[in-house]
C-alpha cells in the first residue's frame, strides 16, 4: 500500500517502513505523529484520489531524529560594481519513519 501525503506544505510518496526527511516537526525523538492530509491512496491497482483529501485516510509515523541538512551557500554578486555578499544556512529537518497507512472505508 502507498499514499501521497501533504506534510508541512510538501507532498511525499510514502509506504509503510519508509524513512523520509521532512521540514522540522514539533516533537521529540520517539514521538508518534499523525498526518490526515492524504491526497491519494493506492493498494494493488485500487487507487482512491481525494477531492482534495481522501476522507478517513490517515498516515501514522514515528519521529526518528531531528537533524540539520547540508550547508547551502547563497552568493550574490554584481559584476564590475565591487558588490559581493556571501551568506548561507543549514535547513532544520526531521527524519520520520512511516508506521502504517490507514485507508478510508
Answer for the pair 72, 91: CB distance below 8 angstroms, yes or no: yes
Q: Is the pTM of this model over 0.75?
A: yes
Give yes or no for residue 105 having a pLDDT over 70.
no
Q: Give the model confidence (pLDDT) of 4-22 as tens digits.
A: 999 999 999 999 999 999 9
Q: Which residue bears the cell 558588490?
A: 83
Give yes or no for residue 82 having a pLDDT over 70.
yes
Q: Give the model confidence (pLDDT) of 19-74 as tens digits.
A: 999 999 999 999 999 999 999 999 988 999 999 999 999 999 999 999 999 999 99
Whole-number Å distance between alpha carbons of 65 and 52: 30
SS3 44: coil
Q: In this predicted structure, what is the pLDDT of residue 35?
A: 96
Peptide bond into 52 cis (omega under 30): yes
From the number of C-beta atoms within 10 Å of its C-beta (0-12, 13-18, 19+), residue 17 rates as exposed
Answer for the pair 26, 102: CB distance below 8 angstroms, yes or no: no
Give yes or no for residue 104 having a pLDDT over 80.
no
Q: In this predicted structure, what is the pLDDT of residue 103?
A: 86
> How far does Cα 55 stand from its chain's mean position?
20
Q: In this predicted structure, what is the pLDDT of residue 98?
A: 97
Amino acid at each position: 500500500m502507498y499514499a501521497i501525503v501533504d506534510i508541512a506544505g510538501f507532498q511525499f510518496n510514502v509506504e509503510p517502513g519508509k524513512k523520509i526527511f521532512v521540514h522540522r516537526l514539533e516533537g521529540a525523538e520517539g514521538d508518534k505523529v499523525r498526518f490526515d492530509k492524504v491526497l491519494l491512496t493506492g493498494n494493488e491497482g485500487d487507487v482512491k484520489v481525494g477531492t482534495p483529501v481522501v476522507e478517513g485516510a490517515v498516515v501514522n509515523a514515528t519521529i526518528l531524529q531531528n537533524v540539520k541538512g547540508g550547508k547551502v551557500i547563497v552568493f550574490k554578486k554584481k559584476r564590475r560594481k565591487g558588490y559581493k555578499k556571501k551568506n548561507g544556512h543549514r535547513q532544520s529537518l526531521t527524519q520520520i519513519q512511516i508506521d502504517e497507512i490507514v485507508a478510508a472505508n
